[in-house]
C-alpha cells in the first residue's frame, strides 16, 4: 500500500491517486459519517479484521476546504474484531455523547472538508471521505444526499476502505440530517473464508549419511471441512536417488483430513554407502494441491553429510629445496596422512625448468612410483642424481611433481621446486640503477656497480663497461665523454665501483638526451646479478633557460628522480636563493646556496631510507617538495 505523508498536502494528493486500497476484511474503515447541525460532527470506525486492533497506532486526519490547513486526532484504546468506535465533537448532541468512545473539539469538519483514516505505524492511508486537495464548494454529492447536513452509513457489502472518492461516493447509504439511530453498530457481510494453504515446514534440512531416515514435514493453514491432498516428489541435485536416498512410490500423495491442521510427514530413506565424498543434495517439491488449496512453500533442499573416513592424503614434504651442484644427489621426500589397510601408490615425475634432465640432474625414466604399505605412515623417498659439470652458469631449477594416486587418495602438496646451486660462479655483478639522471652542468658523474660474493674471492674480479651508441640520443664528444673501461674489484672486496663519465655543458636549448652503458666480459667466474641491472640509461638534463622552462612546464621547481637512491636533481626557474633538507621533525639536515642556478645536484647518500622535505627559498617565496629516500 502506498504511504502518504501528511506533512505536504500536494504530495498526499499525488500519492493517493495511485494508492491501493487495504485488503478486504484486514483493517479499519469509516462505517458512519454525520455532518449535522451545529456541533453534531461524528465519525464511526469499524474493525473489519478478525483480530483486535490497537487504536493508538491510528489517527483521523482532516484537510479543510481542500487546502493545506490540517488537523489530526489520535485514537485511543483497543477495538475488537467486528466492533465500532465512535469519535464525536465534544459539543455534540447528548444522545451522540452517550454513545461516543472519544470526543474532541478538533473534530469540526464541514461538507467540503476531506477526512482520512491513517495507520501511523506504517503511514498507510486506509480510508478517505471526499477528495484531498480539492475544494468542491459546499459539499460532495453522495447518492441522493451529500457530505453536508446528512448522515451517511457504509453499505453492508463494503469490507475495506476506499481511497478513490469516485468509487467511494457510491458506497454509502444516505439518511436525513441529525439521524443518530444507527450510530454505535454496523453490519458487514463477512469475507469469504480463505482457501487451504499447504507448505513445506522446512526449506532446508541436513542429515548425516548414517541416520537411516529423514522426515519431511508438510503443514496446512485454513483447513476446511473437506480433505486436501498435495503431491510430494523427490529429485536429484548432486545426490542420486536409489544410491544416496530413496522414497518408495516417488512421487507420493499427502492427505490432510477435513478440518485437520495436523502436520503430515513423509519418511525418506538415507542410504549409507562406503564412498568418501563431499556433501550431496536433493530436492523436495510440492505440487498439484486439491480442494482449491494454494502452496506457499513448495521447495525444500536436503543435504546429506558424508560419514566415511577420509581417504589417504599424499604430499611432498618440501615445496622448495636447494642442492650444491657437487652434492651428487638430492632426496625427494613423500609423506602420507590417513593411511588405511590398503597400500597407496603415487607417481613422482621430474621435469625441466631451467635445468636439463640428463645434463644437470637425472632419474631413470624421469619418473618413479612410490608405494606406502597398508597401514604405514612412514615417509617414502626418491633419490635424484645431481650432475657436476665444468660449465660456468647460473643456478638452475627443476620440478618434482606428484600425480596418479590410487586407493582413493588425494594429493595435498603436489610440487617441489629444486634449485641446483652452481659452484662455478664466484660472484654476481650489476649496475645499481637501471636509469639515472644528471644535470648537464655537472662535469663529472659516475654509474655505480655492485658485486656480491660468497665466500669472498681470492683473485681480482673485473667487468667491461661499454657504451651502446645505437641506443643513445646524446652524442659522444658533444654531450658527454665516455670510453669503454674495465672495472676491477680487488680480491675479497665487495665495495661499490664506479664507471666515470664527463658531461659537456653547452649553450644549446635542447630536450633531455641519454646514453646507455652495458656490462660484458665478466672475469673470475663472475656473472650478471639478475637482481640488479645489466645496462643503465643515463639521462642528461639540459640546464639552458628554454630547456629548463620546458622541463618545469609552468612550475617553479621540480625534483627527480623521486624516490631517489643516492642523488636527486633539483631544477628551478632560477629565482631561488637557497634550499634546505629537513626531516619529519623539522630538523635541517642539509642546506646549499643555489642563487642564479637552475639545476642543482642533491647528495643524499648518507641519508637513511625515509621521507624528507626539500624547502626552496627566496626573499618572498618558499616551495616545499617531499623527497623519498629508498
Composition of the chain by helix, strand, coil, percent to 5? 5, 45, 45
Q: How far is CA 585 from CA 588, 594, 613, in A?
A: 9, 24, 10
Grid cell in block for residue 212: 537411516
In whole angstroms, give the CA distance from residue 519 to residue 449.
Answer: 10
pLDDT score for 8:
41
Residue with cell 645499481: 432
Whether 321 and 421 have beta carbons less than 8 Å apart is answered as no
- HSE, CB side, 13 Å, CA atoms: give it for residue 369: 8
Whether 428 and 395 have beta carbons less than 8 Å apart is answered as no
What residues contact 514, with CB distance under 8 A and at least 6 apart?
Answer: 472, 473, 474, 537, 538, 539, 540
In whole angstroms, give the CA distance from residue 473 to residue 475.
Answer: 6
Domains 9-175 and 550-629 share a fold: yes
pLDDT score for 318:
94
pLDDT score for 566:
83
SS3 209: helix
Residue 326 falls in which region: left (phi positive, over 0), alpha (psi -120 to 50) or beta: alpha
Phi, psi of 148 (to 5 degrees): -120, 125
Residue with cell 502436520: 263
Domain 550-629 belongs to what topology?
A: Immunoglobulin-like (2.60.40)
pLDDT score for 598:
83
Grid cell in block for residue 573: 626557474
Percentage of the chain lying above the pLDDT 90 cut? 72
DSSP state, residue 473: S
- pLDDT above 70 for 6: no
- HSE, CB side, 13 Å, CA atoms: give it for residue 579: 30
In whole angstroms, give the CA distance from residue 511 to residue 551.
Answer: 8
Region 235-244: mean pLDDT is 96
Does this model's pTM top 0.75?
no
In whole angstroms, give the CA distance from residue 527 to residue 463.
Answer: 9
DSSP for 393-448 reads ---EEEEEEEE---TT-EEEE-EEEEEEE-TT--EEEEES-SEEEEETT-SEEEEE
Q: Domain 313-421 carries which CATH code?
A: 2.60.40.2030
Whether 581 and 560 have beta carbons less than 8 Å apart is answered as no
Domain 9-175 has what CATH class? mainly beta
Strand segments, DSSP code E, in 196-261 are: 197-200, 204-208, 213-221, 228-236, 245-246, 252-256
Grid cell in block for residue 537: 640509461
Whether 462 and 493 have beta carbons less than 8 Å apart is answered as no
pLDDT score for 11:
44
Domain 427-541 belongs to what topology?
A: Immunoglobulin-like (2.60.40)
DSSP state, residue 238: S
Question: In which order are the strands placed within the sheet that holds 567-572?
Answer: 557-560, 567-572, 599-603
pLDDT tens for residues 314-364?
A: 999 999 999 988 899 999 999 999 898 889 999 999 999 999 999 999 998
pLDDT tens for residues 577-607?
A: 999 999 988 899 999 999 888 888 898 989 9
The CATH architecture one would assign to domain 197-305 is Sandwich (2.60)
pLDDT tens for residues 403-455?
A: 999 988 999 999 999 999 876 678 889 999 999 999 888 888 999 989 887 66
- Kindly report the average pLDDT of the chain as a whole number: 91
pLDDT score for 548:
67
Grid cell in block for residue 596: 642564479
pLDDT score for 325:
86
Strand 320-324 to strand 427-431: parallel, antiparallel, or no bridges (unpaired)?
A: unpaired
Torsion on CA atoms 358, 526, 450, 475, rounded to nearest 10: -100
pLDDT score for 382:
95
Domain residue ranges of the chain, discontinuous segments joined by +: 9-175, 197-305, 313-421, 427-541, 550-629
What residues contact 483, with CB distance under 8 A and at least 6 apart?
Answer: none
Amino acid at each position: 500500500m502506498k504511504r502518504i505523508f501528511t506533512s505536504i498536502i500536494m504530495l498526499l494528493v499525488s500519492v493517493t491517486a495511485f494508492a491501493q486500497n487495504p485488503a478486504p476484511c484486514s483493517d479499519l474503515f469509516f462505517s458512519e459519517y454525520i455532518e449535522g447541525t451545529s456541533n453534531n460532527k461524528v465519525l464511526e470506525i469499524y474493525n473489519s479484521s478478525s483480530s483486535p486492533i490497537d487504536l493508538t497506532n491510528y489517527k483521523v486526519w482532516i484537510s479543510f476546504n481542500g487546502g493545506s490547513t490540517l488537523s489530526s486526532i489520535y485514537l485511543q484504546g483497543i477495538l475488537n474484531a467486528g466492533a465500532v468506535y465512535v469519535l464525536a465533537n465534544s459539543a455534540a448532541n447528548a444522545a451522540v455523547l452517550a454513545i461516543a468512545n472519544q470526543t474532541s473539539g478538533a473534530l469540526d469538519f464541514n461538507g467540503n472538508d476531506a477526512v482520512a483514516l491513517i495507520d501511523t505505524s506504517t503511514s498507510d492511508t486506509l480510508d478517505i471521505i471526499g477528495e484531498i486537495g480539492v475544494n468542491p464548494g459546499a459539499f460532495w454529492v453522495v447518492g441522493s444526499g451529500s457530505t453536508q447536513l446528512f448522515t451517511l452509513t457504509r453499505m453492508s457489502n463494503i469490507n475495506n476502505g476506499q481511497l478513490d472518492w469516485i468509487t467511494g461516493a457510491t458506497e454509502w447509504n444516505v439518511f436525513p440530517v441529525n439521524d443518530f439511530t444507527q450510530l454505535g453498530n454496523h453490519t458487514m457481510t463477512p469475507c469469504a473464508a480463505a482457501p487451504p494453504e499447504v507448505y513445506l515446514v522446512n526449506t532446508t534440512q541436513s542429515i548425516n549419511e548414517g541416520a537411516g531416515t529423514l522426515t519431511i514435514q508438510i503443514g496446512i493453514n485454513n483447513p476446511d471441512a473437506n480433505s486436501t491432498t498435495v503431491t510430494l516428489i523427490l529429485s536429484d541435485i548432486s545426490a542420486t536417488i536409489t544410491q544416496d536416498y530413496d522414497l518408495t512410490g516417488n512421487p507420493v500423495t499427502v492427505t490432510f483430513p477435513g478440518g485437520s491442521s495436523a502436520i503430515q510427514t513423509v519418511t525418506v530413506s538415507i542410504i549409507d554407502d562406503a564412498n568418501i565424498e563431499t556433501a550431496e543434495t536433493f530436492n523436495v517439491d510440492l505440487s498439484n494441491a486439491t480442494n482449491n488449496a494454494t502452496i506457499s512453500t513448495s521447495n525444500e533442499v536436503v543435504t546429506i553429510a558424508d560419514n566415511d573416513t577420509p581417504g589417504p592424503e599424499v604430499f611432498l614434504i618440501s615445496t622448495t629445496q636447494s642442492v650444491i651442484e657437487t652434492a651428487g644427489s638430492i632426496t625427494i621426500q613423500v609423506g602420507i596422512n590417513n593411511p588405511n589397510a590398503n597400500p597407496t601408490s603415487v607417481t613422482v615425475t621430474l621435469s625441466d625448468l631451467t635445468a636439463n634432465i640428463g645434463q644437470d640432474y637425472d632419474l631413470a625414466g624421469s619418473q618413479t612410483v612410490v608405494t606406502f604399505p597398508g597401514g604405514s605412515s612412514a615417509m617414502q623417498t626418491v633419490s635424484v642424481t645431481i650432475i657436476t659439470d665444468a660449465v660456468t652458469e647460473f643456478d638452475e631449477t627443476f620440478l618434482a611433481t606428484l600425480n596418479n594416486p590410487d586407493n582413493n587418495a588425494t594429493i595435498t602438496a603436489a610440487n617441489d621446486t629444486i634449485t641446483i646451486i652452481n659452484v662455478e660462479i664466484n660472484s654476481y655483478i650489476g649496475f645499481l640503477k637501471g636509469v639515472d639522471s644528471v644535470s648537464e652542468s655537472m662535469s663529472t658523474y659516475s654509474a655505480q656497480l655492485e658485486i656480491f660474493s660468497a665466500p669472498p674471492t681470492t683473485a681480482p674480479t673485473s667487468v667491461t663497461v661499454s657504451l651502446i651508441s645505437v641506443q643513445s640520443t646524446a652524442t659522444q664528444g658533444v654531450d658527454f665523454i665516455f670510453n669503454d673501461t674495465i672495472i676491477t674489484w680487488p680480491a675479497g672486496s665487495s665495495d661499490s665501483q664506479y664507471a666515470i663519465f664527463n658531461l659537456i655543458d653547452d649553450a644549446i636549448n635542447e630536450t633531455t638526451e641519454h646514453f646507455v652503458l652495458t656490462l660484458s666480459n665478466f672475469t673470475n667466474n663472475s656473472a650478471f646479478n639478475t637482481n640488479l641491472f645489466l645496462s643503465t640509461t643515463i639521462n642528461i638534463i639540459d640546464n639552458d633557460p628554454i630547456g629548463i622552462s620546458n622541463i618545469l612546464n609552468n612550475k617553479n621547481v621540480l625534483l627527480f628522480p623521486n624516490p631517489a637512491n643516492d642523488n636527486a636533481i633539483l631544477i628551478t626557474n632560477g629565482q631561488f636563493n637557497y634550499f634546505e633538507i629537513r626531516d619529519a621533525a623539522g630538523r635541517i639536515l642539509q642546506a646549499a646556496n643555489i642563487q642564479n642556478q637552475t639545476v642543482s645536484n642533491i647528495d643524499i647518500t648518507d641519508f637513511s631510507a625515509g621521507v624528507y622535505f626539500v624547502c626552496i627559498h627566496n626573499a618572498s617565496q618558499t616551495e616545499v617538495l617531499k623527497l623519498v629516500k629508498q
